[in-house]
């Protein structure tokens, strides 16, 4: 266990013939190891978080394929919003279950054969179709590193893993328009600064025609549904594979997909 290895390290440091400088370096390493809140945690000072937020925002705009930069932006700017989200989850019975059991969505935890065998129109089958059609995999999410609280680190990890489910629920493909629509929905739902920034700055590189479609139809639809639906992080998706997608959409109050995006996801 951790405490035993820590005690052993302290014992070694005390009796080893180290110089003062080496002792302090060894103690620093030990402190870092003890202070890691979860396996991938990298403790950062406020200055580092500010620099990371600015740098990742710039890099994400400069190179849209750097998804890890979007993730880092979310982690460094979302601390207080994550607390609000976590409290929302705690108030809901299904949400508390998720917080306790901490389910993860990855190729290792998903039973692909079982999902494939589900009837057409069920949530699980449609999710699998979405993954196949858009050629995405649930394993491409970077782990959380810069959040200084392990429960909040799980909350943001869950938010990232649920992103694909939202694509399925909203019927949006993974092209740039679809991603922006899902970002608007998430911005209204979660209020994460990264979602808000992504929603506002994402359309910057769009053509005028696409921008028109976005602003006239898609954004109002996304915002309207975002307000109507309860917190999407509260759904235990892993238990709802058999539920028909139409019924799930009705439960969340998601209206019909706008005609311009129908049949694409």
Partner 1 sequence: MAAPRSYVLWSYCGRGWSRLVRTCGPRGLHSSLPAGSLGVRFLSQEKHATQTHFGFETVSEEEKGGKVYQVFESVAKKYDVMNDMMSLGIHRVWKDMLLWKMNPLPGTQLLDVAGGTGDIAFRFLNYIQAQHQRKQKRQLRAQQNLSWDEIAKKYQDEEDPLGGSHVMICDINREMLKVGQKKASDQGHKAGLTWVLGDAEELPFDDHKFDIYTIAFGIRNVIHIDQALQEAHRVLKPGGRFLCLEFSRVNNPLISRLYDLYSFQVIPVLGEVIAGDWKSYQYLVESIRKFPSQEEFKEMIEDAGFQKVTYESLTSGIVAIHSGFKL
CB 145, min distance to partner 1, A: 7
139 among annotated binding-site residues:
no
Determine contact, residues 169/137, Cβ cutoff 8 Å.
Answer: no
Shortest Cβ 130–partner 1 spacing (Å): 27
Residue 164 assigned to a binding site: yes
What whole-number distance in Å separates Cα of residue 125 and Cα of residue 112?
10
CA distance 76 to 56: 9
Q: How far from 88 is each of 66, 85, 142, CA to CA, in Å? A: 30, 5, 24
Rounded distance between C-alpha atoms, residue 140 and residue 257, angstroms: 27
Beta bridge partners of 122: 244
**Closer residue to partner 1 (CB): 29 or 175:** 29
- Please identify, using beta-carbon distances, which residue of 38 and 103 lies nearer to partner 1: 38
- Minimum distance between the CB of residue 83 and partner 1, rounded to whole angstroms? 22
Q: 85: part of which helix (H) or strand (E)?
A: helix 79-91
Handedness of CA 237, 239, 243, 247 (dihedral sign): negative
Decide: 214 and 180 in contact? Cβ < 8 Å: yes
Cα gap 259→154, rounded to integer Å: 36
Q: How far is CA 98 from the centre of its chain?
A: 14
Query: Is 67 labeled as ligand-binding?
Result: no
**Shortest approach of partner 1 to residue 193 CB, angstroms?**
18
**For binding to partner 1 (CB under 8 A), which residues are involved?**
10, 12-14, 16-29, 31-32, 35, 42-43, 45, 47-48, 51-52, 55-56, 58-59, 66, 68-69, 72, 145
CB closer to partner 1, 32 vs 246? 32
Residue closer to partner 1 (CB basis): 5 or 96: 5
148 is in an annotated binding site: no
Count of CA atoms in the C-beta half-sphere (13 A) of 226: 19
Closer residue to partner 1 (CB): 59 or 206? 59
Nearest approach in angstroms of CB 138 to partner 1 is 20
Question: Looking at beta carbons only, is 54 or 215 nearer to partner 1?
Answer: 54
The distance of closest approach from Cβ of residue 2 to partner 1 in the complex, given in angstroms and rounded to an integer, is 16
CA-only gyration radius of the chain, Å: 22
Report the half-sphere exposure of 1 (CA within 13 A, side-chain side): 2
User: Which residues sit in the known binding site?
Assistant: 163-164, 167, 179
Q: Name the binding residues for Zn(2+).
A: 163-164, 167, 179
């Amino acid at each position: 266990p951790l405490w035993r290895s820590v005690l052993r390290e302290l014992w070694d440091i005390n009796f080893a013939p180290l110089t003062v400088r080496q002792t302090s370096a060894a103690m620093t390493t030990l402190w870092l190891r003890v202070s890691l809140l979860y396996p991938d945690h990298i403790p950062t000072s406020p200055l580092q978080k500010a620099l990371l937020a600015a740098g990742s925002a710039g890099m994400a705009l400069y190179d849209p394929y750097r998804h890890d930069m979007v993730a880092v932006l979310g982690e460094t700017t979302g601390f207080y919003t994550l607390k609000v989200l976590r409290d929302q989850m705690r108030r809901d019975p299904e949400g508390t279950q998720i917080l306790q059991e901490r389910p993860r969505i990855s190729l290792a935890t998903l039973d692909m054969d079982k999902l494939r065998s589900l009837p057409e129109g069920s949530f699980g089958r449609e999710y699998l179709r979405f993954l196949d059609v858009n050629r995405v995999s649930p394993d491409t999410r970077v782990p959380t590193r810069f959040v200084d609280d392990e429960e909040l680190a799980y909350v943001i990890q869950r938010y990232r893993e649920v992103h694909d489910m939202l694509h399925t629920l909203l019927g949006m493909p993974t092209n740039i328009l679809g991603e922006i629509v899902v970002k608007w929905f998430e911005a209204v739902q979660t209020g994460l600064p990264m979602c808000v920034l992504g929603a506002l700055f994402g359309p910057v590189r769009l053509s005028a025609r696409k921008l028109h479609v976005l602003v006239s139809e898609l954004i109002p639809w996304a915002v309207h549904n975002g307000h109507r639906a309860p917190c999407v992080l509260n759904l235990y998706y892993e238990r709802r594979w058999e539920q028909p997608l139409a019924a799930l959409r009705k439960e969340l109050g998601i209206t019909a997909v706008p005609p311009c995006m129908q049949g694409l996801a």
